[in-house]
């Protein structure tokens, strides 16, 4: 194909795209005729054919998505407020000390020079983040150290500001959003106190790396709060994880033989996420104390295939789109969050529980 032919085709394609774009952007699209008015009474958001529509009816099964948006808005505001507090509080302290800038004040009075990261701190970080040694070269190591220094600096600044504001709290006139999503535990495996005032329902995937991290945090929560909380496990195997569904079925076959055995299998499976094929699932079941023959009959017969699918369908109905997703007394937490994030919600729920 000669150069003139290529240019002609290019021009033709560009012209066609321009026409298409113009057609789609300029052509009028029919729209629903909305008219915006003040609500006739509280809680009413619309009226269709004379029927008043409440906000709950409008949101329907999109409640979880709305809560995530509200949480993002809150996190953005509180993050900006934290920055302003640091700037103003530390700026005032710098002025008292006759120091020109906030950064200079931080360097002189808070970090007191260059921040050091010890070998033990570095090794602990790499272990906690599950970073394979084979992936760490000099450049990656330098980035890790740089990140850790920045985090340590932020923690030191935060602690200093927290001390300064202890007796003179910052007044905040917007509230943290709270959801009240009713989650049915059903026949889910449970650990902790049966009559606990705080219930954590987790939707998880045995092959999801973030769920693996979260599983360790859930263990910390159980260790910290004991029977003050109960933890229910719901299955939500994601389509891209081919071994997650069978692992969920296997876990329920183990659950058939005892609750404690299920949680042992749970821990073993999350600790061996690269070994979740059928052969290894049988080994994990045996290691958890399950009878091999009974397990094999249950697993090979796909006894819990529908059970797992129903868990997933129920999660989707609630609005779960990713794993891990937690509901703490109806309060949403999403992702592999640290124990502090759980404790903040749990402590608040325990304090207000009747």
Domain ranges of the chain: 40-92, 111-168, 190-352
pLDDT at 24: 47
Confidence of residue 188 (pLDDT cuts 50, 70, 90): very high
How much of the chain, in percent, has pLDDT values that exceed 90? Answer: 78
Contact 229, 280 (CB under 8 A): no
- Report how far Cα 273 is from the mean position of its chain's Cα atoms: 19
Q: E-strand spans in the chain? A: 44-48, 51-54, 190-192, 198-204, 229-235, 325-328, 331-334
Ramachandran region of residue 347, left (φ > 0), alpha (ψ -120 to 50) or beta? alpha
pLDDT at 134: 87
Confidence of residue 18 (pLDDT cuts 50, 70, 90): very low
How much of the chain, in percent, has pLDDT values that exceed 70? Answer: 92
**d(Cα 184, Cα 133) in Å, to the nearest integer?**
42
Average of per-residue pLDDT across 297-317: 96
For 105-161, what is each residue's pLDDT tens digit?
A: 999 999 998 999 999 999 999 988 878 888 899 999 999 999 999 999 999 999 999
Sign of the alpha-carbon dihedral angle for 216, 221, 223, 227: negative
Q: What is the CA radius of gyration of the chain?
A: 27
pLDDT at 267: 96
Given a cut of 90, is residue 350 above it in pLDDT? Answer: yes
330: helix, strand or coil: coil
Q: Between the CA of residue 134 and those of 7, 126, 137, 142, what are the distances in Å? A: 48, 12, 8, 15
pLDDT at 20: 47
Confidence of residue 1 (pLDDT cuts 50, 70, 90): low
Contact 304, 272 (CB under 8 A): no
Nearest to 266 by CA among 291, 247, 241: 247
For 263-292, what is each residue's pLDDT tens digit?
A: 999 999 999 999 999 999 999 999 999 999
Nearest to 292 by CA among 302, 282, 279: 282
Given a cut of 60, is residue 10 above it in pLDDT? Answer: no
Query: Could you check whether the bond before residue 47 is cis, i.e. omega within 30 degrees of 0?
Result: no
Rounded to the nearest 5 percent, the helix, strand and coil shares of the chain are 60, 10, 30
**d(Cα 85, Cα 91) in Å, to the nearest integer?**
9
Q: DSSP string covering 3-21, please?
A: HHHHHHHHHHHHHHHHHHH
Q: Between the CA of residue 262 and those of 46, 211, 275, what are the distances in Å? A: 48, 17, 17
pLDDT at 194: 85
For 146-160, what is each residue's pLDDT tens digit?
A: 999 999 999 999 999
Nearest to 73 by CA among 154, 170, 175: 175
pLDDT at 11: 47
325-328, strands of its sheet edge to edge: 190-192, 229-235, 198-204, 325-328, 331-334
The CATH number for 190-352, chosen from 3.20.20.240, 3.40.50.1220, 3.40.30.10, 3.40.640.10, is: 3.40.30.10
Average of per-residue pLDDT across 41-50: 94
Confidence of residue 68 (pLDDT cuts 50, 70, 90): confident
**d(Cα 235, Cα 123) in Å, to the nearest integer?**
33
Average of per-residue pLDDT across 196-223: 95
**d(Cα 312, Cα 320) in Å, to the nearest integer?**
9
pLDDT at 21: 45
Nearest to 281 by CA among 261, 254, 306: 254
Give the CA count within 13 Å in the CB-facing half-sphere of 152.
Answer: 18
Given a cut of 90, is residue 80 above it in pLDDT? Answer: yes
Given a cut of 50, is residue 23 above it in pLDDT? Answer: no
Given a cut of 50, is residue 25 above it in pLDDT? Answer: no
Residue 321, burial from CB neighbour count under 10 angstroms (0-12, 13-18, 19+): middle
Confidence of residue 28 (pLDDT cuts 50, 70, 90): low
């Amino acid at each position: 194909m000669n150069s003139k032919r290529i240019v002609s085709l290019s021009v033709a394609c560009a012209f066609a795209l321009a026409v298409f774009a113009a057609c789609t952007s300029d052509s009028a699209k029919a729209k629903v005729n909305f008219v915006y008015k003040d609500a006739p009474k509280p809680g009413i958001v619309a009226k269709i054919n004379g029927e008043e529509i409440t906000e709950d009816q409008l949101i329907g099964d999109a409640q979880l998505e709305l809560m995530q948006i509200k949480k993002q808005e809150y996190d953005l505001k509180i993050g900006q407020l934290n920055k302003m507090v640091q700037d103003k509080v530390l700026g005032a302290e710098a002025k008292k000390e006759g120091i020109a800038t906030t950064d200079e004040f931080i360097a002189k009075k808070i970090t007191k020079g260059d921040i050091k990261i010890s070998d033990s701190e570095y090794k602990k970080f790499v272990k906690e983040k599950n970073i394979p040694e084979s992936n760490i070269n000099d450049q990656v190591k330098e980035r890790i150290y740089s990140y850790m220094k920045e985090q340590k600096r932020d923690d030191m600044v935060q602690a200093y500001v927290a001390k300064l504001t202890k007796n003179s709290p910052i007044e905040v006139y917007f509230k943290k959003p709270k959801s009240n999503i009713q989650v049915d535990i059903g026949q889910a495996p449970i650990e902790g106190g049966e009559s606990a005032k705080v219930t954590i329902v987790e939707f998880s995937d045995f092959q999801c790396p973030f769920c693996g991290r979260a599983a360790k945090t859930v263990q910390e929560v159980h260790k910290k709060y004991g029977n003050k909380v109960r933890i229910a496990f719901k299955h939500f195997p994601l389509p891209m994880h081919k071994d997650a569904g069978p692992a969920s079925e296997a876990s329920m076959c183990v659950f058939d033989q005892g609750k404690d055995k299920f949680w042992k299998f749970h821990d073993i499976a999350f600790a061996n996420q690269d070994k979740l094929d059928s052969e290894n699932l049988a080994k994990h079941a045996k290691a958890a104390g399950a009878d091999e023959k009974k397990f094999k009959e249950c697993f090979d017969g796909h006894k819990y295939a529908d059970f797992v699918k129903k868990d997933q369908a129920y999660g989707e109905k609630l609005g779960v789109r990713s794993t891990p997703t937690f509901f703490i007394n109806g309060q949403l937490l999403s992702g592999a969050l640290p124990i502090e994030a759980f404790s903040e919600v749990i402590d608040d729920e325990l304090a207000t529980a009747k």
